Amino acid sequence: MAEKTALILGGGHGGLAVANQLRRALPPEHRVVVVERQSIFYMCGFNMRLMDGEMKDRREGERELSGLAQKGIEWVHGEILEIDPQARRVRTSSGTLEGDYLIIALGAEKVAGTIPGFAESAQNLYESEGALRLYRSLQEFDSGRAVVLICRTPFSCPAAPYEAAFLMDSTFRSRGNRNKVEIGIYTPEPRPMPAAGPNMGEAVIGMLKERDIKYYPQQKLQKIESGRRQILFEGGQAYFDLLVGIPPHAAPKVVREAGLTDETGWIPVDPATLETRYPGVFALGDVTSVRQPNPTGLFLPKAWVFADEQSRVIARNIAAQLRGEEKSDRFDGKGFCYLEVGNGLAAYGSGNFYAYPTARVYLELPSPGHHQERKRIELEQLETLA
């Protein structure tokens, strides 16, 4: 069989997951190549552990990408400058590459600068340094109004803002000053994690009420006035003493310039095979817009668990095609997530996001076991991917 090359753009969770799956699925004569500008892989899920002080240094969640060579995976260290999906050709700062298969896993860029006042006012939960600063701020915050602000949808890890609010609540309770702090969440969503279905949303709202965390849905953000500590929405405003921000997300510029995105701003793919409209070109993870095949018209959440399973589907189908077989593996929309609530407890949600007529996802009550399971899975992922 002639040598083939699978070219993977992006060395984040999705990119490394599909690289590892392809390396296992393909005979050694075929090349698996990852293009990534960073030299270190860091799992963003560890930001929650930085925020609550369970992890003290982000280096605990890092691995060098140079280790991919030991697995038979090539790493091209460079910036992606241009993508030609029709030719499956990529121009990078390290040279031009061509693949027989092209897999785009470039994730979502965090574009905080598009919100006036964000950089000056908010602790950015989606940056490790922001999570560390937030930990220090929570230890010093004695009284006032602490706000979690979701700027735009969609965003990665839909549970994260709610986890942040729960962890703030548990931190203040442990410090004995919860009665002096008001916690609120402002979001443009109609309910928490709407793509997970009504059962999940109602369960999270119930947990917020139990902890006296105020919830303000359907809030369309205009700007933040840092000097006045005010958030301006369409039709209203709110004030804060401590602000935790979830910045707007966008597909990388190079993806948009390649004509890969549609009116959603993300790459549309077949919900079962993850193939784009270009033959032999796939996309997975946060860079995609995967519409749920049910009447809701909602999109699959941007979460690592889906990228992980999508990587298996893509790898198996490419391997099958190289063997001369039909591509028969299909992504079924099933997934799970953990929801940290503090004090060493986590809830667990799981179900089918492709269910008809709406996603069916249910939340199990917080327990120490779920918290430990999450920690174990995150460490396993870190060791497996890079």
Longest dimension (CA), the chain: 69
| 118, 244: one domain | yes
| 129, 18: one domain | no
pLDDT value at position 170? Answer: 97
| 217, 255: one domain | no
| 133, 89: one domain | no
Residue 305 tokens read as 């668990």
108 phi, psi to nearest 5 deg: -120, 135
291-335 pLDDT, tens digit each = 999 999 899 999 999 999 999 999 999 999 998 898 789 999 999
Could you tell me the pTM of the whole model?
A: 0.95
16-56 pLDDT, tens digit each = 999 999 999 999 999 999 999 999 999 989 999 999 999 99
Find the DSSP H helices in 36-159: 47-51, 118-121, 128-140
Of 292, 309, 331, the residue at which a domain comes to its end is: 331
| 58, 148: one domain | no
258-288 pLDDT, tens digit each = 999 999 999 999 999 999 999 999 999 999 9
Ordered strands of the 181-186 beta sheet: 123-124, 242-246, 144-150, 181-186, 213-216
| 226, 268: one domain | no
Please indicate, yes or no, if residue 340 is contained in any of the structural domains: no
Q: Which residues form the domain of 71? A: 5-108+251-331
| 199, 264: one domain | no
Summary mean pLDDT of the chain: 96
Please indicate, yes or no, if residue 236 is contained in any of the structural domains: yes
Q: Indicate the number of domains in the chain.
A: 2
CATH number of residue 115's parent domain: 3.50.50.60
Q: Kindly report whether the peptide bond that precedes residue 192 is cis, defined as omega within 30 degrees of 0.
A: no
371 phi, psi to nearest 5 deg: -65, -45
139-183 pLDDT, tens digit each = 999 999 999 999 999 999 999 999 999 999 999 999 999 999 999
Would you say residue 1 has pLDDT above 90?
no
